[in-house]
Amino acid sequence: MNRSVLHKITYGLYIITSGQEGNFNGQIGNTMFQVTSEPATIAISINKGNYTHELIKLSRKFAVSILSQAAPMTLIGLFGFKSGREVNKLLDVKTKTGVTGVPIVLDYSIAYLEAELISELDCGTHTIFVGRIVDADTISNEEPMTYDYYHKVKGGKASKNAPTYLKEEPAVKHEQAAPANRYVCSVCGYVYDPAIGDPDGGVAPGTRFEDIPDSWVCPVCGAAKAQFEKEQ
């Protein structure tokens, strides 16, 4: 099987939230699609190990925020590479409580959907949850972030819990720097390239990794500078 074919499938990028009675969480998801029109239903695929999976099972409801192209890697890193069992991800983002009581992430969201669980399918490592849409609205007219844009323009990686994760996923290659000068985040696989720097994180293009302040963190997952390893 040529697994690179799987990279030809198109997706978006979403923050999926769920929970009840004060226990809420959210995570990045790239697998969400409309299933039927009447009634309007959507499906999502969630890793069984994720805290959000547990909360959808318990509360039987979830919300989906559709992210804009402008969503920074720090937001995606927070919701995609950290566990809600360790940090309250919803603390530092703007949310509103939806009709289901689930917090909906508004930061960098162009629209949202809220759903009540009507069906689920056990798929081994993941569960497909199908929900009936109970509310939906648009927030802005910005362009939605596609999964392709996330990978190619933002340099993002798939979390190992993502339905689309491939072990052999190639690192995003840049021609500007010799490999020896590039550093890889041991947590998420983000590659720091001195030719590009990390302008969003205050590191100008041309900055050597050694010259980045120790307070700098991985723009994707928030890991400390010390977690980076020299690219082999």
| Site residues, Fe ion (CB under 5 A) | 185, 187-188, 190, 218, 220-221, 223
Q: How far is the CB of 61 from Fe ion (least distance, A)?
A: 31
* Residue 143 φ then ψ, to 5°: -75, 140
Nearest to 47 by CA among 73, 21, 16: 16
Q: How far apart are CA 230 and CA 62, in angstroms?
A: 40
CB of 190 to Fe ion, least distance (A): 5
Q: Compare residues 57 and 160 and give the one whose CB is closer to Fe ion.
A: 160
Closer residue to Fe ion in complex, CB, 20/186: 186
Please state the closest distance from residue 167 (CB atom) to Fe ion, in A.
17
Comparing CA positions, the residue from 130, 128, 138, 15 lying closest to residue 61 is: 130
Rounded to a whole number of angstroms, the minimum distance from the CB of residue 227 to Fe ion is 7
CA dihedral sign of residues 66, 68, 69, 74 = negative
State which residue, 13 or 223, has the beta carbon closest to Fe ion.
Answer: 223
* Cα distance between residue 152 and residue 188, in whole Å: 16
Kindly tell me which of 76 and 185 has the beta carbon lying closer to Fe ion: 185
Smallest distance from Fe ion to CB 224, Å? 10
At its nearest, how many Å lie between Fe ion and the CB of residue 76?
11
Give 45 or 207: the residue with its C-beta nearer to Fe ion.
207
Classify strands 32-36 and 41-47 as parallel, antiparallel or unpaired: antiparallel
> For Fe ion, which is the closer residue by CB, 143 or 229?
229
Residue 30: is it exposed, middle or buried by C-beta count within 10 angstroms (0-12/13-18/19+)?
Answer: buried
SS3 72: coil
Strands 126-138 and 41-47: antiparallel
